[in-house]
C-alpha cells in the first residue's frame, strides 16, 4: 500500500511540468491552430510530421523529456519575469537555486525553434518535425497563467485554498482548470466548434505584435490570477461557484488566443504568402 502511495506521489511530483493545460485543453489548442492553418502551411506541416496533424502532437512536448536526447526539454515549460515585468533570460534563470525559476527556459527554446524552422533548409527532417512540435507545445504552455513565474510572487506559488475540508494547490488549479467542469467533457472537436469563432479582424488583433510582445503581455495579464484569491481562502459550495465563474471566460480566451497564435507562427513559417511573425 505504502509503495502505491509513494509511486503516486512520484507521479504527482512531476505533474506540473508534465500536465500543463490538463485534460484535453492542449489538444483543443492545437486543434484550433490546425483549423487556422492555411492550406499551404498545413500541407507542408502535415508532411513534415509524417502525415499527422499538429493536434496529434499536442502533448508530445510534455511526454518527450524522459526520452534520451530530449531531457533538456524539461526546462522548456516556464518563463520567469521580474517584478517590473522584464523577462529573465535563461542564462540567468539557469543559475537560480529555486527549482521553478531554474527551469524557466521556455522563451529561448521557443525562439530557437522558430529560428530553426526559419532556416530549415539547413535542418534535417527530424529537426523540422521536432521544432514544429516544440512551437506547438511551448506556445500552448505560455498561454497558461501558472507557467509564468514571477520573481516577486514566488511564495504565492505555494498558495493553497480549501474547499470543504480538502486542501488544493492554486497553481495546480490553473493547470487543470478541473473545478470549472467547463472542459471536462470537451475533446478537440468541442474546442474547435465552440471557440474557433473569432472574426478575421479579432484574429488579426489577437495575433498582431511580435512573439516576444505576446509573452510579455501575457506575463502582465496573468499576474491578475493572484488577485483572484487570497492565501488559504476557504470556500463552501456557493462561494466556490461564484469564484469559479470568474475563470471560465478568461480561460476560454487564453485557450483561443494560444490556438490562433500557434497558427499565426506556423503560417508565417510555412506559407510564403503570410508574413513571418517577428521575434522581437
Which residues are at the interface with another protein (CB under 8 A)? 2, 5, 8-9, 12, 163, 166-168, 176, 178-179, 181-182, 184-187, 189-190, 193-194, 197-199, 238, 241-242, 244-245, 248
Cβ distance to another protein smaller for residue 5 or 83? 5
> Least distance in Å: CB of 178 to another protein?
4
Cβ distance to another protein smaller for residue 70 or 243? 243
> Least distance in Å: CB of 31 to another protein?
12
Q: Which DSSP category does 122 fall into?
A: G
The crossing angle, in degrees rounded to 10, of helices 247-270 and 39-48 is 80
Distance, in Å, from the CA atom of 205 to the CA atom of 222, rounded to the nearest integer, reads 19
The sign of the torsion formed by the CA atoms of 212, 214, 220, 224 equals: negative
Is residue 43 within 8 A of residue 196, CB to CB? The reply is no
Cβ distance to another protein smaller for residue 124 or 185? 185
> Least distance in Å: CB of 38 to another protein?
22
Cβ distance to another protein smaller for residue 125 or 197? 197
Measure the CA angle with vertex 83, ends 77 and 86; round to 5°: 60
Cβ distance to another protein smaller for residue 70 or 248? 248
> Least distance in Å: CB of 151 to another protein?
28
Q: Which residues pair with 166 in a beta bridge?
A: 163
> Least distance in Å: CB of 39 to another protein?
23
b/e map 126-149, b = 16+ CB within 10 Å: eebbbbbbbbbbbbbbbbbbbbbb
Amino acid at each position: 500500500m505504502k509503495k502505491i502511495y509513494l509511486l503516486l506521489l512520484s507521479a504527482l511530483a512531476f505533474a506540473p511540468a508534465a500536465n500543463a493545460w490538463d485534460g484535453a485543453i492542449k489538444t483543443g489548442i492545437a486543434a484550433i491552430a490546425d483549423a487556422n492553418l492555411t492550406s499551404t502551411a498545413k500541407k507542408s506541416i502535415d508532411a513534415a510530421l509524417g502525415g499527422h496533424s499538429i493536434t496529434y502532437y499536442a502533448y508530445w512536448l510534455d511526454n518527450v523529456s524522459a526520452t534520451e536526447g530530449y531531457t533538456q526539454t524539461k526546462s522548456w515549460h516556464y518563463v520567469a519575469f521580474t517584478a517590473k515585468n522584464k523577462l529573465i533570460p535563461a542564462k540567468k534563470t539557469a543559475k537560480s537555486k529555486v527549482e521553478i525559476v531554474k527551469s524557466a527556459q521556455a522563451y529561448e527554446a521557443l525562439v530557437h525553434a522558430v529560428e530553426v524552422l526559419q532556416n530549415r533548409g539547413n535542418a534535417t527532417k527530424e529537426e523540422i518535425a521536432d521544432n514544429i512540435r516544440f512551437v506547438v507545445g511551448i506556445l500552448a504552455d505560455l498561454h497558461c497563467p501558472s507557467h509564468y513565474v514571477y520573481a516577486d510572487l514566488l511564495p504565492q506559488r505555494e498558495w493553497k485554498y480549501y474547499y470543504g475540508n480538502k486542501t488544493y494547490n492554486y497553481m495546480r488549479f490553473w493547470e487543470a482548470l478541473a473545478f470549472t467542469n467547463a472542459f471536462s467533457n470537451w475533446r478537440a472537436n468541442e474546442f474547435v466548434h465552440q471557440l474557433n469563432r473569432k472574426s478575421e479582424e479579432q484574429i488579426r488583433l489577437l495575433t498582431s505584435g511580435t512573439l516576444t510582445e505576446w509573452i510579455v503581455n501575457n506575463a502582465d495579464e496573468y499576474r491578475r490570477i493572484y488577485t483572484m484569491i487570497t492565501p488559504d481562502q476557504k470556500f463552501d459550495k456557493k462561494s466556490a461557484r461564484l469564484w469559479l465563474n470568474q475563470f471560465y471566460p478568461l480561460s476560454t480566451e487564453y485557450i483561443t488566443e494560444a490556438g490562433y497564435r500557434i497558427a499565426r507562427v506556423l503560417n508565417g513559417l510555412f506559407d510564403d504568402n503570410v508574413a513571418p511573425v517577428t521575434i522581437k
